[in-house]
Amino acid sequence: MEKSESKNNPENKSEIIINRKTPLSEVLKLGQVCSKCGHCCRHGSGCLARGDLKKIAEFLKMDEKEVEQRYLEAVEKFNTILFRPKLIREEGKPYGKCVFMKPDNSCSIQEAKPLQCKVGNCTEHGERLNLWFMLNYHLNENDPESVRQFAVYLKCGGKTLLGAELNDLIKDQEKLRKIITYKIFR
Ligand code: SF4
Ligand code: SF4
């Protein structure tokens, strides 16, 4: 894989580059590394994408609506709503244990777990793998509100990957200016 660095992204010269267009197959390979300590599942859960709801429903032998109602909660980022497994929160805490985490730290839906659980991990690539997921599944360059919220995120110091600065997403600078200034509303 290529190597380089860029302003406003967490790449390091000596590390593998993960950009927004890195194929899912590559990302999944990097995401496989996990010692199954359960730390991440004790404090959150990963978002569903690409037909995960259907896979989970088939795995649990339930219909999709029932899975949604019993086990999932919605999260919104960059004007995109995705589902993730519910978190069992202690009172007053914003984080909690994933509803599918078993007492031995394993995942009760391992074969059908959400895409973000498959691509994210805590290795040296973990941050960029999560950025890859965010840029591919939360950010929507065809939705002006999503682009505006992403612009605010970047302005506040939010990280991105190579090829996913605002100018990369919207190459027409006049259009980008109109989106940011609400001349193009939706
Ligand atoms: S679905 Fe499985 S892998 Fe994903 S957070 Fe829950 S327990 Fe962990
Ligand atoms: S990704 Fe990391 S924190 Fe999460 S279970 Fe695997 S080793 Fe533990």
Instruction: Provide the β-strand partners of residue 107.
Output: 101
Q: Is the CB of 139 under 6 A from ligand 1?
A: no
Q: Quick one: pLDDT band at residue 7, thresholds 50, 70, 90?
A: very low
Mean pLDDT calculated for residue range 57-75: 98
Residue 139 has a CB neighbour count (10 Å cut-off) of: 21
* Ligand 2 contact, 122 CB (< 6 A): yes
- Per DSSP, the three-state class of 117 is helix
- Which helix (H) or strand (E) is 57 found in, with range? helix 52-60
Question: CA of 115: how far to CAs of 40, 137, 146, 156, 179, in Å?
Answer: 15, 10, 21, 27, 30
Cα distance between residue 17 and residue 73, in whole Å:
32
Q: pTM of this prediction?
A: 0.89
pLDDT at 96 over 80: yes
Q: Is 47 in the pocket of ligand 1 (CB under 6 A)?
A: no
Q: Ligand 2 mean position to 126 CA, how many Å?
A: 10
Give the containing element (helix H, strand E) for 69: helix 64-71
- Check pocket membership of 117 for ligand 1, CB cut-off 6 A: yes
40: Cβ below 6 Å to ligand 2?
yes
Q: Is the pLDDT of residue 10 over 60?
A: no
Q: What stretches of the chain adopt beta strand conformation (E)?
A: 72-77, 80-85, 87-89, 96-98
Determine if ligand 1 sits within 6 Å of the CB of residue 41: yes
Residue 75 pLDDT more than 50?
yes
**Residue 2 confidence (pLDDT) above 70:** no
Best mutation site among 41, 52, 70, 72 for ligand 1, i.e. most ligand atoms within 8 A of its Cβ?
Answer: 41
One-letter amino acid at 53 equals L
Residue with tokens 């709503």: 81
